[in-house]
Amino acid sequence: MTSELFSDWLRHFDRSMRLKGRTVILLLDNAASHNHKEVRLTNVTVPSLRPNTTAHIQPMDAGIIRNFNALYKKSLVKHFITCAENGQPQMLTLRLAIRFVKSAWDEVSAKCINNCYKHVDIIPTTAQTEDESDDDISLAELRNFMQQLPRSDGDEVPTAEQYVDEDTVVDTGHELTDEEIINRVQPPTDDQSDDEDQPAVVPPTVAEALQHTDR
């Protein structure tokens, strides 16, 4: 997510609220990508949380995102295990990743969301003791699958908790400069390229492309 993408989405959201005759509050954390100073809003008020309070008063950060990550990465590890068992390269296509994302979000239960809202006191809690959380169950399932992954002696394998939480330190709101974009897309120079002896890549035919989209 970048500030430009977020601003575009926010304009669309404000327009949809205006068409529905609704006035809403959209509570945001202080992520750099949530900068919307140049966006003129009519039906959406956008207050920001105080710094360093996100994990305490925002339900998504109180466990919903972590539960989703555990479910997504469980599907990812299962896929890699299947590839290894079938002697196939451990690769992930964009289409398959999107399927895993949808499946993971569908598995995030209403109970998990409800518990996270209770945790941040948005809805009242009860005196009853909660059962084992969906987050604990998802981590246990992920831990079981990670133990099945093929590994070589000396490989350092993260715990299920480390694997789920590794994305929290990744900067996802950084906007690339023109120079960075050019460096990523430009072809390698003669000094960098070892492809002279490689055969030319033949693009697939339309029939072959259509065949793969049905998989």
Q: Among candidates 139, 110, 112, 114, which has minimal Cα distance to 125? A: 114
Position 38 scores a pLDDT of 85
Position 9 scores a pLDDT of 92
Position 3 scores a pLDDT of 84
Torsion of CA 18, 19, 20, 23, to 10 degrees: 0
Residue 13 corresponds to which amino acid? F
Q: What is the pLDDT along the chain (215 residues), one digit of tens a residue?
A: 788 888 999 999 999 999 999 999 987 877 778 888 889 999 999 988 777 776 667 777 768 888 898 899 889 888 988 888 888 888 888 899 999 999 999 998 888 888 877 777 666 655 444 444 555 666 677 777 777 766 666 667 677 677 666 666 565 556 667 777 777 777 666 555 555 555 666 777 767 776 766 55
pTM (two decimals): 0.51
Name the β-bridge partners of 44.
24
pLDDT digits (tens, 9 = 90+) for 141-171: 777 777 776 666 666 767 767 766 666 656 5
Per-domain boundaries in the chain: 3-48, 56-168
CA angle 181/184/188 to nearest 5° reads 135
With contact defined as beta carbons under 8 Å apart, do 104 and 47 qualify?
Answer: no
What count of other Cβ atoms lies within 10 Å of the Cβ of residue 63? Answer: 20
Position 23 scores a pLDDT of 95
Position 182 scores a pLDDT of 75
Position 129 scores a pLDDT of 40
Residue 170 to residue 90: CA distance in whole angstroms: 23
- The DSSP code sequence of 74-97 is HHHHHHHHHHHHTT------HHHH
Position 85 scores a pLDDT of 86
Position 12 scores a pLDDT of 95
pLDDT digits (tens, 9 = 90+) for 79-96: 988 888 888 888 888 899
Cα dist from 2 to 76, 165, 171, 175, whole Å: 26, 21, 10, 6
Position 137 scores a pLDDT of 63
Position 136 scores a pLDDT of 63
